[in-house]
Copies of this chain bind each other. A is one copy, B any other.
């Protein structure tokens, strides 16, 4: 890649990080340190079409440790341990199938800004994240005007609140694979609510078959920005859902021990820094914003 372009992508990423971490600090969040290796990690399921081919694992002093796929389980434990509002710059390793290279938005290693708030509801996350998204776009437009011009990127202006749809509505309008066409049909980020997915996302107690979870989707074809949910926190429900998803309770022993002691209701989410930077800079592929590319199926050079 052209050196000047690369520097522009890196500067935009750096300014996005600067704004985002500042925003969480100013809003009273505690920044926790990431976890790379742990006996427990996000199963990233139960999607039968899940494209992660395996979980990275090593052995250290007789223990099997997984590479973090996301810190969701650790976030719930942290909230239970009394950290009421937290965020983490968390590197996630997801050993994706090489076919994911074509999506333009998948990496086998990326950094997620992961956050969680005790006793929060979906609506709290929506307004927090809408504030962040409008703020970071303004910040980068101002601080990286030269870089955006060099890259030929004109960031559209948008404002809160963002539109909200259920996944049923999106599927009815755009088909089962609604993400890309819906993203292309919008000029502002929007929310997609109620996805059938991981055990730790909360079922809607008032509407069976609905889920209190959400994605934020970027406009202009950039696709998924953020994934989050209100969380299951009752031991019996969590254990039952782990079974129902065909997962092995033994792999979640440490997490289930905390759940038995009593988790705390919370809501949160996580968004990939590289996808944010791709959206802000208009990069063709999310790997373009990485100085050290981590695109599934491409040889890792350094």
Contact = CB atoms under 8 A, between A and B. Distances in A.
A10 to B, nearest CB: 6
A108 to B, nearest CB: 7
Interface in A1-21: 3, 6-7, 10-11, 13-14, 17-18, 21
Contact of A109 (B3, B6, B35): B35
Given A10-B32, A35-B109, A290-B33, A299 B63 contact: yes
Interface stretch (A70-78, A120-128, A154-162): A70-78
Interface in A40-83: 40, 56-58, 60-61, 63, 65, 67, 73-74, 77-78, 81-83
A188 interface: no
A225 interface: no
Quickly give the copy total for this chain.
Answer: 2
Nearest to A36: B91
A68 to B, nearest CB: 9
B82 A6 contact: yes
B81 A3 contact: yes
Given A30-B10, A60-B56, A93 B291 contact: no
A135 to B, nearest CB: 16
A60 B3 contact: no
Contacts of A292: 33, 35, 38, 74
A149 interface: no
Contact of A73 (B13, B32, B36, B302): B302
Nearest to A7: B82
A265 interface: no
The 10 tightest CB contacts between A and B, nearest first, are: A254-B302, A14-B31, A14-B30, A56-B58, A36-B91, A18-B25, A17-B31, A3-B82, A35-B292, A33-B111
24 contacts: A6-B82, A7-B83, A10-B32, A13-B32, A13-B33, A14-B25, A14-B32, A22-B22, A32-B291, A33-B91, A34-B111, A35-B109, A35-B292, A36-B67, A36-B93, A37-B294, A38-B302, A39-B301, A56-B58, A56-B60, A60-B300, A74-B302, A78-B291, A89-B89
Interface of A: 3, 6-7, 10-11, 13-14, 17-18, 21-22, 25, 30-40, 56-58, 60-61, 63, 65, 67, 73-74, 77-78, 81-83, 89, 91, 93, 95, 98, 108-111, 254-255, 258, 273-274, 290-292, 294, 296-297, 299-302
